[in-house]
């Protein structure tokens, strides 16, 4: 048992172990049963003192587990939304017109005329400035600036 705990700690995995409380309880009852059959046990009132604290901590652990599970599900939904927005499947942005194509940027990182056109087409396709920045490998500030220019072209 102790070797398993040491090996678990040496893995370096910082994740919370939800089953630790169950294992500790089973170890405690196992030690109690084995010790009872071979040794004389003394009764104390100490477990009664910690009973309410234990119940409080268990309630907190249940509440935190629900909260963490909710956060994970919200994060997965957000990730799915972002992945869908970054996907170029079924669009006009194939190999020749891919946002990451080398002909879209100069050596300095500025967009070429072709890069600006693709940037505007991405906005036409409903992509957000964040998605355009990621797909075109430009800063978010530059993508927002291009979006402003794109808007003025569409309103005039």
List the beta bridge partners of residue 93: none
Percentage of the chain beyond pLDDT 70 is 88
Distance CA 46, CA 21 (A): 19
Q: What is the DSSP letter of 105?
A: B
In a domain, 18, yes or no: yes
58 located within any domain? yes
Mark which of 86, 121, 142 sits at the end of a domain.
86
Does 42 have pLDDT greater than 90? no
Quote the domain boundaries for residue 82: 43-86
More confident residue, 29 or 139: 139
Nearest CA-CA partner of 18 in 79, 56, 62, 72: 62
Domain boundary among 55, 86, 117: 86
pLDDT for residue 147: 94
**Helix ranges restricted to H, the chain:** 2-10, 20-38, 46-86, 113-124, 129-136, 140-155
- Res. 76 pLDDT band, cuts 50 70 90: very high
Q: How far is CA 139 from CA 11, 62, 132, 143, in A?
A: 38, 42, 9, 6
* CA–CA separation, 129 and 153 (whole Å): 16
* CA–CA distance, 108 with 105 (Å, rounded to integer): 8
Long-range pairs for 18-23: beta carbons < 8 A, 24 or more residues apart: 18/65, 21/58, 21/61
Average pLDDT, stretch 114-143? 91
Give the chain's domain count.
3
Burial of 118 (0-12, 13-18, 19+ CB in 10 A): buried
The CATH number assigned to the domain holding 112 equals 1.10.10
The answer to whether residue 91 is domain-embedded is: no
């Amino acid at each position: 048992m102790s070797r398993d705990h040491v090996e678990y700690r040496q893995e370096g995995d910082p994740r919370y172990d939800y089953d630790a409380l169950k294992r500790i309880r089973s170890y405690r009852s196992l030690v109690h049963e084995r010790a009872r059959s071979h040794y004389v046990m003394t009764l104390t009132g100490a477990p009664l003192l910690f009973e309410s604290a234990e119940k409080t901590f268990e309630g907190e652990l249940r509440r935190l587990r629900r909260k963490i599970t909710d956060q994970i599900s919200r994060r997965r939904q957000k990730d799915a939304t972002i992945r869908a927005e970054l996907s170029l499947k079924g669009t006009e942005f194939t190999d020749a017109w891919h946002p990451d194509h080398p002909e879209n940027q100069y050596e300095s990182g500025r967009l070429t005329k072709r890069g600006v056109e693709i940037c505007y087409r991405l906005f036409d396709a409903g992509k957000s400035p964040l998605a355009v920045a990621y797909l075109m490998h430009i800063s978010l500030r530059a993508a927002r600036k291009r979006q402003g220019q794109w808007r003025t072209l569409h309103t005039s």
